[in-house]
Amino acid sequence: MKALGVDIGGTGIKGAPVSLEKGTLLAERVRIATPEPATPHAVADVVKKLVEKFQWNGAIGCGFPSTIKNGVIQSEANLDPSWAGCDAAQILENHTGCRLMIINDADAAGLAEMEFGAGKGQRGVVLLLTFGTGIGSSLFSNGRLIPNTELGRLKIRGREVGLWASARARESKHLTWKKWAKRVNEFLEQLEAMLSPDLIIIGGGVSKHHEKFFPLLKSRSPILPAQLENEAGIIGAALAARNIARTPKPTKTSKAA
């Protein structure tokens, strides 16, 4: 069984067919620059290009940088103000002609890590944090996703932690690993008080350098680096479409004369 996984981001839109049994890409991923402005229909046109590139006609899963309820975007998603309140799932289905499931991008990464990566076989409360341009989060209780946590929006000292302690903040402020880890530790302290996680997984591009800052982190919970790196969003998005991939696409029948 397979699905097309699509990871929609602020700078690029990436996609590839995914084996849902193995969690592997079935073809080399394709990346297309996010259009400017990144309006719903402009982004949908890019997703359509990915569908055409892979000659795809099956289920599609899309990871998207926003909280999502029933396919509807709850905020402007750092892409374009016109996304807020938009039925993205319907627009993308109309453009691609495929059945489609849309999910928060960090939740997608979490699904992939829980099934095929650092969270495989883990029970209890598992928290995934992705450090990039902001901080994404996904939360699992005994393997079940609790969607749309968006913990990077929490504030520390009046500042949104997703801006203050992100990987981008470390680079733009030229912070040493030690100074950046101090910010991350304040965030972890708050999360542990709220959630008491049994495991914390740290992903995003910064996870490739975990040996530089993991020894500086202070946590009562075990901390592991994410394993799937850049493929996590694509694989997890495809996993989100697993249910519709199992169901045959309905065929149109003509009315009897």
pLDDT in tens, 117-142: 999 999 999 999 999 989 999 999 99
Give the model confidence (pLDDT) of 64-108 as tens digits: 999 999 999 998 767 899 999 999 999 999 999 999 999 999 999
pLDDT at 82: 93
Share of the chain above pLDDT 70, in %: 96
Segment 193-199 shows an average pLDDT of: 97
Query: What does residue 254 show for φ and ψ, rounded to 5 degrees?
Result: -85, 150
Residue 4 corresponds to which amino acid? L
> What is the Cα–Cα distance from 243 to 59, expressed in whole angstroms?
9
Q: How far apart are CA 144 and CA 160, in angstroms?
A: 27
CA dihedral 174, 206, 128, 113 (to 10 degrees): 170
Q: Structural domains in the chain?
A: 2-107+233-246 (3.30.420.40), 121-227 (3.30.420.40)
Determine the pLDDT at residue 251.
57
Tokens of 36: 């400017």
pTM of the model: 0.92
Q: Are 99 and 111 in contact (CB under 8 A)?
A: no
